[in-house]
Structure 1
Amino acid sequence: MAIEIEKEFKNLLTKEEYTHLLANYEKQLTHHVTQINSYFDFQDMLKNHKCALRIRMIEDCDYGEVTLKIPKSLVEVIEINERFLPEQLQVWIDKKELPLPKSIQEALQKEGIPLTTAYMIANLKTIRKEGHLNDDTLLVLDHSFYNNTEDFELEMEVKDLSNGEKLFKKILDEHSIIPRKTASKIKRALTY
């Protein structure tokens, strides 16, 4: 089990903005992966607490993850990750039912959510290109597909929120990108 605090900034992009950033950051965006996210909930219990639960399968990877996200602020999220073999994760995806790992059950109980099993509510596929701008900053460009639609997103994962916010705003300004309120992928997948 791994627990980490994710600090990130996000902005939805037009296709043109996405293509422009891909060209401008081509040298930095050296890691490319395709992810399949399957989202789970039970009677909106997680949604009502603004939490998210997913299985993430990564193409050509020998493991996948069950992840619980618990928001702590607009830009900070606690992530609890458990790794599993892809074959086991695929069984749960096919059944559309996820028996929660003990660590995730315990974290949910601390949030007042007595949940032991969750059911699939949405799927989303993302083609991700990422790379480090510096030791503290990971730049991510996502092209996501769900419910017969697609979108484009800029994410920046940072270690220091203050410096990260300045750099994120600088990137938006330098490339004439309008700041847009950006819902999480699970919210977007459930909206359409």
Structure 2
Amino acid sequence: MAFELEQELKVLLTEDQFKQLLLHWQLDNQQPNIKQHNTYYDTTDSALKEIDAALRLRNFETSSVWTIKHRQNEFQSHEYHQTNPTTLIPKHNIEVGAIYDEQLLRFLSQNAIKIEDLKQTYDIKTSRWLIPVSFGEFALDHSVYSNAEDYELELETTQLIEATTEFKHFIEQFGIQMKQAETKLSRASKYYKHS
């Protein structure tokens, strides 16, 4: 189990801006650092969404992580993680015992959410290139949804004030506007509604 305060800045990119940043960091011929398959779960009445939270199963090549993200504000979320030593096949319903971490279970219980009521909502496949910097780590993402795809630049940091200044300065060099992007889950929901 792990708990962390996630602080991130993120902007959506056009495909051309994405390619421009790949070239800038000389990553255009590089495979992504991470390929991940995210499966999201919620109740039929969107109980997690109602409290600005999300439950995600993230599968990597050889492992997986259950995460509850609980938004605190536009830039910060509390995250609770359960790391699994193997990948897990996403199912429509979560199997009994799949989530066993005390903090994840406590969060669900405190919000009157039963595991058996959680259903799969969205799938997102993301290719991610990571670029460490002195004030955090950039993540350049290409995400594919069931009916759309998008591009995003994220900056995860522990120094939000300094990082905000650096992030704005960096993206301005490429003509990218500072407008905090919605979460991937929010975007998946919108793409689904407009398909």
**What TM-score does the superposition give when structure 1 sets the normalisation length?**
0.88
Who is 1:103 aligned against? 103
Q: 1:40 is matched with which residue? A: 41
Cα deviations across residues 24-44 of structure 1 (Å, max 9, x unaligned)? 1237x9961110000000120
Deviation of 1:73 after TM superposition, in Å, equals 1.5
The residue number in structure 1 matching 2:5 is 5
CA contact (8 A) 1:37 1:124 kept: yes
1:127 aligns with 2:123: no
> For residues 13-65 of structure 1, what are the alpha-carbon distances to aligned partners after superposition, in whole Å with 9 as ceiling and x for unaligned?
000111111111237x9961110000000120001111011000012x3x210
> Which structure features the higher share of strand residues?
1
Q: State the TM-score, normalized to the length of structure 2.
A: 0.87
1:152 counterpart residue number: 151
User: Hey, what's the Cα distance between the residues in 1 that align with 2:154 and 2:54?
Assistant: 18
Question: Is this contact kept in 1: 2:42–2:49, CA < 8 A?
Answer: yes
Residue 191 of structure 1 and its aligned partner are, at CA, apart by 1.4
Aligned equivalents of 2:166 and 2:180: distance in 1?
A: 17
Secondary structure of the residue aligned to 2:126 is strand
Q: Whole-Å Cα distance in 1 between the matches of residues 159 and 171 of structure 2?
A: 18
Q: Secondary structure at the match of 2:70?
A: strand
Name structure 2 gaps, 5 residues minimum: none
Identity %: 28
Aligned residues: 183
Kept after mapping to 1: 8 A contact 2:5/2:78: yes
In the alignment, is the contact (CA less than 8 A) between 1:30 and 1:130 conserved in 2?
no
1:96 is aligned with what amino acid? H
Mapped pair 1:69 → 2:65: no
Measured on the aligned residues, the alpha-carbon RMSD in Å equals 1.8
CA 1:55–1:115: 2 relative to 1, 3 Å: same
